[in-house]
Amino acid sequence: MLVIVAPGQGAQTPGFLAPWLEDDVFASRLHWLSTVAGLDLARHGTESDADTIRDTRIAQPLLVATALVTSLELFPHPADAFRLIGAVAGHSVGELAALAGSRAITAEQAMVLVRERGTAMADAAAITPTGMTAVLGGDRDEVLATLERHGLTPANDNGPGQIVAAGTTEQLSALADDPPAKARLIPLSVAGAFHTEHMAPAVGHIAKLAVSVSVHDPRIPVISNRDGQVIHDGRELLKRVVGQIASPVRWDLCLDAMADLGVTGILEVPPAGTLTGIAKRALKGVATFALKTPDQLDDARAFCLEHGEGSLIETTPTWRMVVSPAKGTWHLAEQLKGTGADGELLDAGTEIGGVSSLRDTIAVTAAHGGQVVEWLVEDGDLVSPGQPLVRLHPVGAE
C-alpha cells in the first residue's frame, strides 16, 4: 500500500523551488495559487532567504501550494492517484494539502484557508513570547513528565525519541535548565508555540471561514493528525484541521495507523525529507521516497506503481460509505441488531457501532445518514483502518 505525506512548517529551505519552476506548466499553476494566496510564492521559493520564508504568513502558503502543484506533476491525470494511493496524511499545515489531494476541498479553498491560517497564527504568536524546542531521545514517560512539570505542551509527537515541546519562553528556559535525562534539546526557529492553547485566537477566525467551505467526502482515506484515525467525512476532516491549530499533532499515531493499514511505501512531496526520515526510524522495512527535485519524477512514479494498490473507498457517487476509523473489532450498535439491516433508514449522525482495540473503543456514526444498501462487515469482525463498514444510499429531504 502507498501513502502520500505532505510536510509541515520548517521543511522549507531557501531556493528549494528553483528547479521546479523551470517547467512552464508548474510555474503557471504556482502563479494561480499565488494569486489566491496574495503572495509571490515563486519569488519566496527561489530568492527569499531563510528568515523571510520562516515567517508563518509565507511559510504555510508556500508549503501547501508546493505540495499541491508537485502532486499534479507526480499524477498528471488525478484519476491515477485515486487508483494507486491507499491513504494520505499531512503534518500540521500539510493536512490542508492532504485534504485537497483527497478532493475533500479544492486547491483554491485550501489556499484561502492556509493564507488566513498563517496570518492568524502569526497574530496569535505576537500576543505572548512563546516558542518550541525539539526534545530528542530520553525515556518517553520521563520526557512527557518533565514537560508537564514545566507547563509545556508536547505540541508535536513525532514518534520514538522525537517530541517537540511548546510554551512560553520562560517555560522553555526552565526546560533548558532542567531537561529530561539522556535527552538533547534543540530550540526551533519558529514564531510561536504552535498547536497549543496560545493559538486559540487563530482557531476562532478559521472556524468562521470553514463554515462557508463546501466539502466532499474524500476519495482517498485521510489519516488525521489528531489521533491517527482514518476519517471519511469531509466536514469532520475540516473541523479537525481547524481545531488542530491549537491542539497537538500526533504524528506517532498517524505512523501507527500506516502500520495498521499495511503500508509498504511512503512518498513525501516537496520539500521532502523530514517525514520520510521519521518513517525510516519508526516503520522498519517500509520503503520511503523523498521527492525533492523534478529529475526524480520518473523514479517517483515507478515507486508509486510498485506500492500502489488503490483506495478501499468506493467512489461511485450514487451511495455513501462509512469506513472504520481504526484497527480493531467491529461491534454493531445494539439498537441495530435484529433490524433486518438492508433497507434500514438511518438518520444523519446515527451511531451504528464501534471499533474496539486494546487502547479504547471508537464510536462510529453515519454522518450523512441514508438507506442501508449493504452491510460489508458482521458483528465481531476484525477490521482495518479505512475498511468500508456499510454502504448507504443518500435519501433526499422531504
Q: Which residues are catalytic?
A: 92, 195
Distance between CA 94 and CA 97 in Å, rounded? 5
Residues 6+ apart with CB under 8 A from 94: 5, 6, 7, 8, 63, 64, 67
Q: Are the C-beta atoms of 297 and 19 separated by less than 8 Å?
A: no
Q: What is the DSSP string of 295-337?
A: GGHHHHHHHHHHH----SS---TTSEEEE-SSSEEEEE-GGGT
Q: Three-state SS for 285?
A: coil
**Contact of 171 with 130, CB cutoff 8 Å:** no
Alpha-carbon distance of 230 to 387, in angstroms, equals 9
Nearest to 181 by CA among 141, 154, 152: 141
Q: Which 8-state DSSP code applies to residue 245?
A: G
Map grid coordinates 523571510 to a residue: 52
| DSSP strands (E only) in the chain | 2-6, 85-90, 130-137, 153-157, 162-168, 183-188, 222-223, 230-231, 265-268, 287-290, 320-323, 328-332, 345-346, 350-356, 361-366, 370-375, 382-383, 388-393
Residues 66, 271: contact at Cβ < 8 Å?
A: yes
